[in-house]
Structure 1
Amino acid sequence: MEMGERIKERRLAMNFTQEELAQKLGLQKSAIAKYENGRVENIKRSVISKMADILECTPSYLMGWESISNEEIGGTFQENIQKLLPKKHGVLIKVLGRVAAGIPIEAVEDVIDNEEISEALAKTGDFFALQIHGDSMEPRMCEGDVVIVRQQNDAESGDIVIAMINGDDATCKRLRKYRDGIELISNNPAYKPMFFSNEDIINKPVKIIGKVVELRGKF
């Protein structure tokens, strides 16, 4: 039995509504609903302890620690809670330190880490992650941040894209489309927009290799 099911079981046994239990804990009713539905990422030790007193049981019972083997118990309080929460399934993608021209994404060997994306997102295309270098996209994107990128060779005006210019390493910029060409725009006003005519796009060349769909800031 999951922690949320145990909370609901004891609440019903004590004949409390979700609202009544929330009031006793000094929480919103929605918090109790989240606990019981297993949608809680973090829960304070003090909340578990107080809830156990109100529901006339032990914190260990609510958390289901008797269902965890002795070998598994011994981590931090939050780590032990995580063992009782429903497991989330995701898809691992490579985090690349750089993307060089002429090398297919799947062949890039400069892999520095992995990131997880949801199965739902993974079904919408092929993805890779790229570590941001430099300050051209500050303050929104900083050195060391990671962007999740869907591989595609075009994007809409206003999208943030990963582009290749002059066969150099990939760069992250905001795309602006015009009838006679495109602009690649930095967030940092210290960097001027780069305009490329339709002829430049073909001859340099300028190639879009993906659209940024998510930013994951790193400390």
Structure 2
Amino acid sequence: MAIADIIKYTDIRKSCECGGDNINRIKEFRLKLGLKQSELAERIGVRQNTLSTWETGRYEPDLESLVKMAELFGRSIDEIVGHRVAITPASTGGTWVPVLGEVAAGIPIEAVEDIVDYEEIDSALAATGDFFGLRIKGSSMEPRIREGDVVIVRKQDDADTGDTVVVLVNGDSATVKRLKKEADGSMWLLPNNPAYDPQHFTPTEITEKPVHIIGKVVELRGKF
């Protein structure tokens, strides 16, 4: 399932000021371009049945798809959704990345459906790789990183000592820890919170458990 199929516009109402009859004009603008429903769906990267639910008003589009349609139609997001939107990400020049609530072992990040939000990163950072956000669970990285905060992660399968990384261990969900590598090929996963114990893995354990680095934390978005 594509990212755009998961986040409904109702999930981002905190970013909007809504009013009026809330009647979208997607179908009207699509027909003015002479596009079939399937053609528009393909161009913005969603499934046709998803687009159909938006046109009938059953669900409202996610923010990423609204930006794509605004560019394609040559219209503002306000015109498309039928009410005023307080922010228009298309004007910022940034890139929106999905924030995951969980990353499970064996599931490619692109296939994860547990998307809880979007965060914007600037275009310069976006040009350096592929990124996702991860919402922090637990208190092992306090006081620097707290439960509910979001970290921005660059996808990569290796990192250096001192980096804060997202790691999959033994088939469990992702954990965020500081990395320390040893000369013998072993590694430590270090919490910031002294109430939690460091985890040490030998080269054999790294292979057999397994222990996979899936990304490096590059930004922290603290939440209140």
Identity of aligned residues (%): 61
CA deviation string 1:141-181 (max 9, x = no partner): 00100000000000010000000000100000000000220
User: Of residues 208, 211, 217 in structure 2, which corresponds to 1:212?
Assistant: 217
C-alpha distance in 2, partners of 1:185/1:116? 28
Q: Counterpart of 2:74?
A: none
CA RMSD between the two structures: 2.1
CA deviation string 1:104-133 (max 9, x = no partner): 000000000000001111110000000000
- Segments of structure 2 that go 5 or more residues without pairing to the other structure are 1-77, 79-83
Q: Counterpart of 2:177?
A: 173
Q: Counterpart of 1:158?
A: 162
Structure of higher RCO (CA pairs closer than 8 Å, 6+ residues apart): 2
Equivalent positions of 1:51-200 (< 5 A) are 87-180=91-184, 181-200=186-205
2:125 alignment partner, SS class: helix
Q: Counterpart of 2:207?
A: 202
1:142 alignment partner, SS class: coil
C-alpha distance in 2, partners of 1:127/1:140? 21
How far 1:192 sits from its partner (Å)? Answer: 1.2
Larger radius of gyration between Structure 1 and Structure 2: 1
CA deviation string 1:50-73 (max 9, x = no partner): xxxxxxxxxxxxxxxxxxxxx9xx
C-alpha distance in 2, partners of 1:101/1:193? 21
After TM superposition, the score normalised by the length of structure 1 is 0.61
How far 1:88 sits from its partner (Å)? Answer: 2.4
Moved over 2 A (4+): none
1:199 alignment partner, SS class: helix
How far 1:213 sits from its partner (Å)? Answer: 0.1
How many residue pairs match? The answer is: 140
